[in-house]
Amino acid sequence: MPRQLHLNAFLMNTGHHEASWRLPESDPYAHVSLAHYVNLARVAERGTFDSLFLADGPQLWSNLAQRPAGALEPLTLLTALATATEHIGLIATASTSYNSPYNLARKFASLDIISGGRAGWNIVTTAGAEAARNFGLEAEPAHAERYARAAEFLDVALKLWDSWEDDAIVGDKAAGVWGDDAKIHPPRHQGTYFSVGGALNVPRTPQGYPLLVQAGSSEDGKVFAARYAEAVFTAQQTIEDARAFYADLKARTAAAGRDPEHIKVLPGIVPVIGSTQAEARALEQTLEDHIVYTHGVDRLENLLQLPSGALELDGQLPADLPPEDAIEGAKSRYTLVVELARREQLTVRQLIGRLGGGRGHLTFAGTPEQVADAIETWFTQGAADGFNIMPPVLPSGLDAFVDHVVPILRARGLLRAEYGPRTTLRERYGLPRPANQHVSPELATV
């Protein structure tokens, strides 16, 4: 079949634009409404998206005045959404810094079984002192240490998901034999960060293990992605940067001994859609007009690790900002924001406006045809395997994309018209079911 787009719906309360909750149409309580997320999941499924995604972090972001804060725990919410949908993949963020492998592997295995093979894990290492203090630490661990812990965490999780062979359950009522203990393989892992003895208490799942997603674009992040990730959520502002990232990550994946086709690169895009370009620009301006810039300054100073009061709204970023190597937080997002401000000579006010819709992801305002053109260009010119669709306002932005952009993509042969016979999230992403590491390849289920 011709190559087709992979689309993921990144769902965030009232929308990705920080001022979306202030629009008359928005429900300020949507972030804790199951009905809101059920509706969004069903809209994305109507658009034949591969998956939907819920971000998460183990802390309450400061400044409740800015936008709806807090969120339902994503694995719990996705379990509810699994019963309200039939096809769409269900991806949740979960931190390797503030979880244990056994509990998290069990939760994702349970979601995969309940959903019939639609679970995905966005693997993050969690930057920020706020989260660290919630888990008894005075400061966040160093960037390199977080990724070293993440690698061991994932190795243990893979051992746990493989601790049951696929045919460990016998179910022989006549013989009185329910299962075969010879097909259970406890990890007995002793490592730098974890010690895990016993097998998982959940059988091997429909996918073997969930789709593995990663979202960091730092050097450590790219090394980790090349080794483990099967889909990568990334942020680039230009097609040139996107093509460079795409080529680099595919080459790293091949160098790691993996098939580059088994890692899908999905840049984020915030589509502001209008029936005319003027209408799209007007919606974009309405959102920007509702930004409270004092909130934006606080957030930008935190990202850039500057003291309070260091930025002036109508001035530019300081000339002496530290290099990425000196940053222990979100390294790649730091670099993206600084380069955007320098490249376009933006004032702090202008930069906050640019970041208000997608926090550094590409924001594109235009007609459905123009949005489809941009997606097709990036997809066909070596910049993406698909996109992380980030509607600025929910539910209207997702409705507009599904109702008006999706039909164009289908007409161009870039997107499926229906889900078809493939049922698991891995199959939708063109990935094989992983062989159990305890079974010889010729006997493994693929």
93 carries a ligand binding annotation: yes
Of 235, 238, 208, nearest to 221 (Cα)?
235
CA 189, distance to chain mean position in Å, is 28
> 98 a known binding residue?
no
Q: Which of 362, 298, 359 is nearest to 334 (CA)?
A: 359
Would strands 51-54 and 362-366 be described as parallel, antiparallel, or unpaired? unpaired
Is residue 16 marked as binding? no
Inter-residue contact 324 to 143 (CB < 8 Å): no
Task: Quote the tokens at residue 442.
Answer: 């010729």
C-alpha span between 108 and 96 (Å, rounded): 13
Strands (E) in 26-137, as ranges, are: 51-54, 89-95, 119-124
- Quote the CA–CA distance of 102 and 199 in Å, as a whole number: 9
56 is in an annotated binding site: yes
Residue matched to tokens 């203990």? 181
Sign of the dihedral defined by the CA atoms of residues 119, 123, 127, 128, in that order: positive
Annotation-wise, does 166 bind a ligand?
Answer: no
CA distance between the termini of the chain: 20
Instruction: Tell me 267's DSSP state.
Output: E
- Asked if 300 and 309 touch (Cβ cutoff 8 Å), the reply is no
Annotated binding site for FMN: 56, 93, 143, 147, 217-218
Annotated binding site: 56, 93, 143, 147, 217-218
